[in-house]
Amino acid sequence: MLSNLKQQPADKILALMAMYRDDPRPTKIDLGVGVYKNAEGVTPVMRAVKAAERRLVETQTSKSYVGLAGDPAYGDAMIGLILADAVARDRIAAAATPGGTGAVRQAFELIRNTSPEATVWVSNPTWPNHVSILNYLGMNHTAYRYFDSETRGVDFDGMIEDLAAAKAGDVVLLHGCCHNPTGANLNLTQWQAVVDLLNEKGLIPMIDIAYQGFGDGLEQDGAATRLVTSSVPETLIAASCSKNFGVYRERTGLLMAVSQEAGNTAVTQGNLNHLNRQNFSFPPDHGARVVSTILTDDALRADWMAELEDTRLGMLALREQLAGELQRLSGSDRFGFLAQHRGMFSQLGTTPEMVERLRAEHGIYMVSDSRLNIAGLNAHTVPVLAKAIVDVGI
């Protein structure tokens, strides 16, 4: 059996990490891996997370399994964080998952089980694992225009034109905020137009929200998801706590399935439980318990929100510094989009050849599609990156 296995394609980001690790240049800069880093290049454990973990160590009396859907307090806390009061709680089925990726996978499997003929529409570009999982599951999918490589903004007209060709029952995968990989986001007026199209065509939105709090703030970053969920008959939401709680390795995610018909919730919940049982049985609990501890304690929640806001403002400052430095060096305002994008990522909109030159000539590592991780920079490396971008002629 094992002799029949075929070599799988290398993950581009993991390969990039290996190249960075083996590069001896002391001035090298890693802007590839999608992990938040502080000015010292460390992915820190947040203060509130440490405090919640200490509390769990002192008070937790068992490591027995939780339910198939995870701890109900975690589901309730995350629903409150993301949806607030946009939808009545009895309209929402939810299940904890191993990270946001697990939530995406479970959502895709739910779609395949219930609507095997549906096409999943994904933005061009999108997080590569979206398409990888869809391909692995053998699901129908197609791309809609999203990023304009000339303006480095959203090609909204192209997006709407493409989605107008979708058929009733198709699924539209949307990024709730801080679009990965581009950093270019819809405004609320555009979101309303998307809602109108979803309802007109009978399309089902699936929202991947992995960066709430990294863009314009917790409430603002949740606004689009709340608008969509409160306005259409059904919505799937895949949520991640990896970034905004910094619990990457704890694999803490949640899948929500929302129906405006309360009578659908019990059966939907049973199906989410069943999917968990088939794939991994009981979801991991430690990260989920940490998150629910923080969100249900006023002091811990306030401290978490303060640290998250500092993180967000720090990334905005790096964006503004980089845009300003590029304007100074190039004498052009063509890089102003970097200050307008939100979240950890921006896409330069250049060629793989230019990205390779940045690596070979300047030791700057980013994904070949020109996605760069803003959080991989600090105040000292921003001028280095800006000079390299101008030197290679981007």
Q: Which residues are catalytic?
A: 127, 208, 210, 243
**Residue 133, phi then psi, degrees to nearest 5:** -70, -40
CA gyration radius for the chain? 21
3 state DSSP class of 349: coil
From the list 327, 377, 378, 384, the residue with the least C-alpha distance to 361 is 384
What is the spatial distance between Cα 179 and Cα 175, in angstroms, rounded to a whole number? 6
14: its two tokens: 């993991």
What is the spatial distance between Cα 247 and Cα 287, in angstroms, rounded to a whole number? 7
Tokens 């109900």 locate to: 72
Q: Is 24 exposed, middle or buried (0-12, 13-18, 19+ CB in 10 A)?
A: exposed
What is the spatial distance between Cα 250 and Cα 285, in angstroms, rounded to a whole number? 8
Task: Output the 3-class SS for 77-117.
Answer: HHHHHHHCCCCCHHHEEEEEEEHHHHHHHHHHHHHHHHCCC
Tokens 């997080």 locate to: 127
Residue 39 Cα to chain centre, angstroms: 22
Long-range contacts of 261-266 (CB under 8 A, 24+ apart): 261/91, 261/233, 262/88, 262/90, 262/91, 265/90, 265/91, 265/92, 265/93
Report the DSSP beta bridge partners of residue 120: 141, 171
Q: Is 144 exposed, middle or buried (0-12, 13-18, 19+ CB in 10 A)?
A: buried
What is the spatial distance between Cα 173 and Cα 76, in angstroms, rounded to a whole number? 24
**Residue 206, phi then psi, degrees to nearest 5:** -120, 120
Amino acid letter at 372? L
First-to-last CA distance in the chain?
Answer: 49
Count CA atoms closer than 13 A to 35's CA, side-chain side. 15
Angle between helices 298-330 and 382-392 (to 10 degrees): 40
